[in-house]
Each structure stands twice: as C-alpha cells, then as structure tokens.
Amino acid sequence: MVTAFHKAGWLFTHLKRNFILATIRDVAKRAQVSVSTASRILSNSTKEKFTDETRARVLKASVELGYRPNFAARALASGETRIIAAIFPRIYDTPFTALASLQIMSGIESYCSDNGYHMLISSPKIIDEALDPNFINLLSGGYLDGAIIDGHFNITPLMDFTEQINLNTVIIGHHPHTHYLRSDNLEGGRLMMSHLLEQGHRHIGLISVPDIAERLRGVQLATNDYQIDFESLPNVVGNFSEQSGAVAAEKLIINHPDLTAIVAFNDRMAMGAIKLLQQMGYRVPEQISVVGYDDLPRSRDFSPPLTTINHHLDQWGGLAMTMLHQLIRGEDPDPITLKPELIVRGSTAPLSA
C-alpha cells in the first residue's frame, strides 16, 4: 500500500537526486571538463579564457542538472563572497531620484555582471553623525568583499567604521581617502564660470552646495582672472535637487533683477532654475544664461539644451569597481582624478548689448 508518507518521501528523494544534490563535480563530469574549468566558467572568472564551445557545454550541463551554486560554500573555500556594496548615503534625497547616482550605479552593476560579482545597494541615513544599527550589522557581518561609497557629503562616521572593520573601500567624490575616484572640481568650477565671463556676463548669480568647496574655489579663480569681486556675487545654497534650483533661482531674480547669468552646481538645479525662469517670463538664453554641471543624458534633450560640464559620469562606476576589484585581490591601485570638459549647448549665449 502506497501511503501519502511514501509519496512524499519519493518526491523528496526525486527532487534531492535531480536538483539539490547536483554539484560542480556533476556539471564537470557531464560537460567533460575539469572541476576547476566548470567552476571558473560558472563564476564568470576573467583569469582564463575558454573557447565558446567549452563554455556552452558547461552552461548546458548546469541547466540540464539544475545546478545551483552554493555561495556559502564558495565563500568559505575562497575567502570571498563576491558581494560588494554600493553605498549612497541619504543626505538630501535617495540615489534612485538622483540621475548622477543612477549613472554611477549602472556602471558598477555592469562591471559586476561581467566579472561574477553581485551588487548590494544601500542608502543609509546619517543622523547627527550616527549610523543606523542595522546598517552597522550589514557592514560588519562578513557579507561584503568591499564597498564603493559616495563621498560627496560628510561621511566621516561611515568611513571611521569601515576603517575599524578593515573593509576594502573606494570613495567616489572628494572625501579624503587613499583610494578615490573624483572629478577635478577646481577645474570644473573654473570652466563653467570662465565660459560665462568670456560671453561678456558680469552680473552672475550662483546656486551652490556646501559639500563641493573645490567647485566654488574654481569659480572664484575664474573671477580673479577677470578682476571680478567674487564676494559680491549673490550665492543661494541648494541641495542638488531640481526643486532647490527653482527656489534658489527665484530668490536670485527677486533680489537681483539685473542678473544676466546663473551658475548652478549641478544639472538638476540648473534645470529647476530654467523652468522657474521660464514660468516667470524670462527667455533662456536670450535674457538670462544658465550653466549646469554633470552632463546628464537628460541635459541634451532639455529645452533649451543645457550648457554644462562633462566629468565623465558614465565611466565612474566601472572605474571605481575596477579599483575595488584590485583592492580585493590585494593590489594597491592609484587614485583617479577625471578631467572635466565644457559642453556648450543652447542655455548660454553672449551678453546682449
């Protein structure tokens, strides 16, 4: 007599035999390759090159056997989890609303996919220089091989903790660290301001952010070159968001109606400023020019197309992940500073007579 218990036992044994117990050795045997070859192909190792035919045999065998890699066992054997964290602290808004952050994350993810890594995205809050306890548990739990951290803000509490637990870390931005990737903000600020000064503008308002002092210093260098009193330039602080750009532009125009140009410290604030100016009846750039910073993809299709600074955001994620991969392998990569370039489009024009 076949009971429900026997049926359940047969089903468990069947599943165990056909799916759960499939190992890397089973895959290698069916594909007629060595265990190390099967393992490297299935982990997307870039250390060796395999023929397309060998790779196809291994992948086919893994699918037929229902093979699933045991990540815990792999981590124990190799000392690596193949998991990295992309950490974008939530200061003003989340990274999912910040187009620059999304560009960087896309580059990180692309590198991870090509090299057998997995990306964990975290957006912790830093309140009164204190870290969330759950986030501390994540960092210290042994899950991560390393982290890429957005250092455009004050992340001192976070960096102090990563140093305590000796976590491989690459910083993107200007926060002090041995291994960093950043834009030359001094040169970028000088370029954006010099462009407007070369166009004849002298009554220029600034929409800045407190976290990028070097960009502001670059603006000051440009004013020095033209014997302009930097301290006399009206400056309203934003927070990178489009809305803050609109609010800042309104304050600038109301308090300084003679302005002929605005320097915004990122594209999102520049776009918010332009929208507000257009709502107030100003024609951009005929009556007032606006320059941004980042060269986001959206800036090319904006109305008018945005004059901006390209600091190669599309390369940041891949370059940062390359550095982190080198750190994980025990190497000591050099820091990277990317040179910005001015992209002139339709939001700036020479000062009208």
Which residues lie across from 262 on neighbouring strands? 205, 290
Q: Give the per-residue pLDDT at 14.
A: 45
DSSP tag of 59: H
Six-digit token string for 101: 């952050």
Q: How far apart are CA 15 and CA 135, in angstroms?
A: 37
Tell me which amino acid residue 239 is. N
Closest CA to 312 of 184, 180, 145: 184
CATH 3.40.50.2300, the chain: domain bounds: 83-182+313-338, 185-311
DSSP 8-state class, residue 48: S
State the CB neighbour count (10 A cutoff) for residue 280. Answer: 12
pLDDT at 22: 77
Phi first, then psi: what are they for 183, rounded to 5°? -90, 150
Is the CATH number of domain 83-182+313-338 3.40.640.10?
no
Burial group, residue 219, by CB count within 10 angstroms (0-12, 13-18, 19+) = buried
Reported pTM: 0.75
Least confident of 90-94, 107-111, 217-221, 309-313: 90-94
Q: Tell me the C-alpha to C-alpha distance, in Å, between residue 298 and each of 12, 66, 286.
A: 54, 43, 22
Q: What pLDDT score was predicted for residue 139?
A: 83
Q: What are the pLDDT digits (tens) for 141-163?
A: 788 999 999 988 778 888 888 89
Contacts of 160 (CB under 8 A, 6+ apart): none
- How does DSSP classify residue 17? I
CB 293 within 8 A of CB 271: no
Residues of the chain with CATH 1.10.260: 4-69
Q: What is the mean pLDDT of the chain?
A: 87
Could you please state the CATH topology (level 3) that the domain comprising 185-311 is classified under: Rossmann fold (3.40.50)
- The count of other CB atoms within 10 Å of the CB of residue 168 is 20
Strands (E), the chain: 83-87, 118-122, 126-127, 130-131, 146-150, 169-172, 180-183, 204-208, 235-237, 261-264, 289-291, 308-310, 336-338, 341-343
d(CA 151, CA 239): 15
pLDDT at 13 over 70: no
Q: Residue 70: pLDDT above 70?
A: no
Contact yes or no for 313/108 (Cβ under 8 A)? no
> Using CA of residue 48, residue 50, residue 56, residue 57, what is the dihedral sign?
negative
- Say how far apart CA 176 and CA 230 lie, in whole Å: 27
Residue 258: CB atoms within 10 Å: 8
Residues with Cβ within 8 Å of residue 245, at least 6 apart in sequence = 207, 238, 264, 268, 269, 270, 271, 272, 273, 276
Flag the least confident range among 101-105, 198-202, 327-331. 101-105
Q: Is the pLDDT of residue 7 over 70?
A: no
Class of domain 4-69: mainly alpha
Q: Please, which pLDDT band fits residue 191 given cuts at 50, 70 and 90? A: very high
